[in-house]
Amino acid sequence: MTGGWARRTLDRLYAGSGVVAAAFLVAIFAVVLAQVVLNTLDAALSVVTGAPLGLLLPSYAEFAGYFLAASTFFALAYTFRSGSHIRVTLLVRNLPPGARRVAEVWCCAAGAVLAGIATLTAGRLTWESWSYGDVSYGLVPIPIFLPQIAMTVGLGLLTIAFVDSGLAAARGGTLPSDGEDD
Amino acid sequence: MELLAAVVLVVVLLGLLASGLWVAVSLIGVAAIGVAAFAGAPVGRVLASSLWSASSQWALAALPMFIWMGEILFRSRLSDDLFEGLAPWMARLPGRLVHVNIVGCGLFAAVSGSSAATCATVGKMALPELARRGYDERLTIGTLAGSGTLGLLIPPSIILIVYGVAIEESIARLFVAGVIPGIVLMALFMGYVAAWSWLHPDRVPPPEPPVPLIRRLIGARRLIPVMALIIGVIGSIYTGLASPTDAAAVGVALALVISWASGSLTWATFRDSLMGATRTSCMIAFILGGAAFLTTAMGFTGIPRALAEWIGAMGLSPGLLLAVLTVFFIALGCFLDGISVVVLTTAVILPMVEAAGIDRIWFGIYLVLVVEMSQITPPVGFNLFVLQGLTGKNILTIAKAALPFFCLMIVAVVLLVAFPGLATWLPQQMAAR
């Protein structure tokens, strides 16, 4: 299995979703910074013209919030595979190899079940937002199902990563590092 | 009934955590069990909406921005600049260059929200330099472990963002509330170093030739960019000119400029800082999402209210309640990281604390101070891990070196309880504006 096309595809999927998540962080930075620059310009101009012009990026706070959600959920699987989600390894680390394997498989199985449930319920929430045509309250009516798609996809990727890692652990592999080796 | 349910759920949660299940997943798991077994509400609907509303907030967008800013500066030349700029000024104090650890951590804490990053940045440069000059190794390691925790207290603070978002309190006020306690803690640490050096003159290396004022000023010039960044970020939040999220985005821009001007901004450092921020922010936001689900689930079960009434019926004084909570948090902090302790607290303990008449902002600062202590207690203490990586010493040796600073932090907690104004005065001045 290792080195096969399935392995390569999955690894590219995790890495790719991490890059998408990082792009959303840059988007938050860009939107917020643009708004701050506009605010400053507005304040400077109002000294000259006597009244603020009201320069602003419509709904920038909502955009920043949705970008944040998209970044968080897209990064879930990538963060998991790089061993950055926090867990208590004190006990697991000191188990004999056989028992440790059982514990790792249990963790991935429990993770897969819970992430799977979360994916399904997120999918339903997204579907409802779409069918009711829910939009955000701000100046720009943003359809809420768009960022919620990111939540559903991200949780789905996390479920896949849990199943993937659980199968690897069952075959005697190790889970993504937990910082215990640094 | 509720108390029994509370005991069952606590046991389940500890079992899930101990089995190695990721913290965020454990929170979701125990909350799902709680809703299904003790409340009979539809689990799925609550799960999706809690996750969604917790992770799509404007205020939380400050989190990845401050993390990113710290990541950029961590990879810049700031570590050298802090040492070179500060060292000549500290040479006259009793304890000499050991104070660079404390002041350097205090300054880096003001541009970074993480205590592990603070500890690593200052330690990277100061540890070899101080060892080369013959300073007492235990004192050097202890001051770094202790002062590294300033990263959580002095704004911007990742953990105060988490607390503020979880209890829907103004993050700007929480940030401002942390300033004075942070300075008090620095003063305690510096006082201890001075007293120790005065008692052990034989273990302090001889003074270096004095550096003329003009040379010291030239050295201090290297600190100007970081001072400007600190004043810009904290000042704009305090005066209400910018929200924490705005200030954080400007902070990222300035950190990029500083890093570029000092020649340390390359594609590799940019990419590493961005991906590092993506991972850390995702990890924390996922825990917050799990905690939001747990908070809602707890609301359905009625457990926090029952606990609050139970504690209320015992008629504990706030002082005694805080003493019990302090011991509880330190015990919890031996095994859990600070963020997990904070989100568990807000889900279950906050109603009890508010029923006892304790101010939410004050409690946030108290909580951070106590959680900071857990950063330097074995077996799980992130600052200890960082120093282990930097020095290659055994974790117990490092913990022993950090012990005096742990005790000083207890003194700080007592001071905070005795003089609550340390945390509440500055935010009130902000309100008066």
B229 contact A CB<8A = no
Q: Which stretches of chain B drop beneath a pLDDT of 50?
A: 433
The pLDDT mean for chain B works out to 88
Q: Please tell me the predicted confidence (pLDDT) of residue B431.
A: 61
Q: Closest by alpha carbon to B98, among B7, B187, B193, B172?
A: B193
- Residue B76 has phi, psi (to 5 degrees) of -95, -170
Which pLDDT belongs to residue B236?
85
Closest-CA distance, A152 to chain B, in angstroms, reads 9
Q: What pLDDT does A180 receive?
A: 41
Q: Which of A68, A75, A106 sits opposite B61 (nearest CB)?
A: A68
Q: Supply the pLDDT for residue A2.
A: 54
- Beta bridge pairs of residue A135: A143
Please report the pLDDT score of residue A3 as a whole number: 64
DSSP B347-412: HHTHHHHHHTT--HHHHHHHHHHHHHHHTTSSSS-HHHHHHHHHH---HHHHHHHHHHHHHHHHHH
Res B411: pLDDT: 94
- Give dist(CA B53, CA B292) in Å, integer: 9
Counted across chains A and B, CB pairs separated by less than 8 A come out at: 181
Token pair 């109603």 is found at B351
Task: Report B:361-400 residues touching A (Cβ under 8 A).
Answer: 379-380, 385, 389
Dig out the tokens for A105 from the structure: 């498989």
Per-residue pLDDT at B287:
92
In this predicted structure, what is the pLDDT of residue B61?
92
Residues of chain A positioned with their CB less than 8 A from the CB of B377: none
| DSSP category for residue A138 | S
User: Taking CB atoms and an 8 Å cutoff, what residues of chain A touch B280?
Assistant: 84
Angstrom CA distances, B171 to B167, B378, B420, stand at 10, 30, 19
For range A161-179, the mean pLDDT: 81
Look at the block and give the residue holding tokens 């990721």.
Answer: B22
**Helix, strand, or coil (residue A135):** strand
Read off the pLDDT of residues B67-106 as tens digits, 9 standing for 90 and up. Answer: 999 899 988 888 888 888 888 888 888 888 899 999 999 9
**Bond preceding residue B156 cis, omega within 30 of 0:** yes
Q: Which residue of B has its CA nearest to A114?
A: B29
Rounded to 5 degrees, φ, ψ at A143 are -65, 125
Alpha-carbon distance A162 to nearest alpha carbon in chain B (angstroms): 11
- The verdict on a CB contact (< 8 Å) between A117 and B32 is yes
Least confident stretch, A55-64, A170-179, B117-126, B290-299: A170-179
Neighboring chain B residues of A104 at a CB cutoff of 8 Å:
20
pLDDT above 70: residue A41 = yes
A127 touches chain B (CB under 8 A): no
Confidence class for position A106, pLDDT limits 50, 70, 90: very high
Q: What is the pLDDT of residue A177?
A: 57
Given A25, A72, A90, which is nearest B55 (Cβ)? Answer: A72
- CA-CA distance, B129 to B141, in Å (whole number)? 12
Q: Which amino acid is at B262?
A: S
Q: What angle do CA B8, B13, B17 make, to 5 degrees?
A: 150
> Which positions in chain A touch B29 (Cβ < 8 Å)?
110, 114
Q: How far is CA A41 from the centre of its chain?
A: 34
Distance CA A163, CA A109 (A): 7
Residue A179 has pLDDT above 70, yes or no: no
**Single-letter code of the amino acid located at B16:** L
Q: In chain A, which residue's Cα lies nearest the Cα of B338?
A: A86
Q: pLDDT value at position B432?
A: 55
How distant, in Å, are the alpha carbons of B77, B118, B226, B257, B397 from that of B262?
7, 20, 12, 9, 36
Contact B64 A110 (CB under 8 A): no
Q: What is the rounded end-to-end Cα distance, in angstroms, of chain A? A: 28
Is the ipTM reported for this complex over the cut 0.90?
yes
**CA pair distance A181, A91, nearest whole angstrom:** 15
Which of these, B25, B103, B10, lies nearest to B293 by C-alpha position? B25
Q: What is the mean pLDDT of residues A49-54?
A: 73
Q: Angle formed by the axes of helices A5-49 and B267-301, to 10°?
A: 90
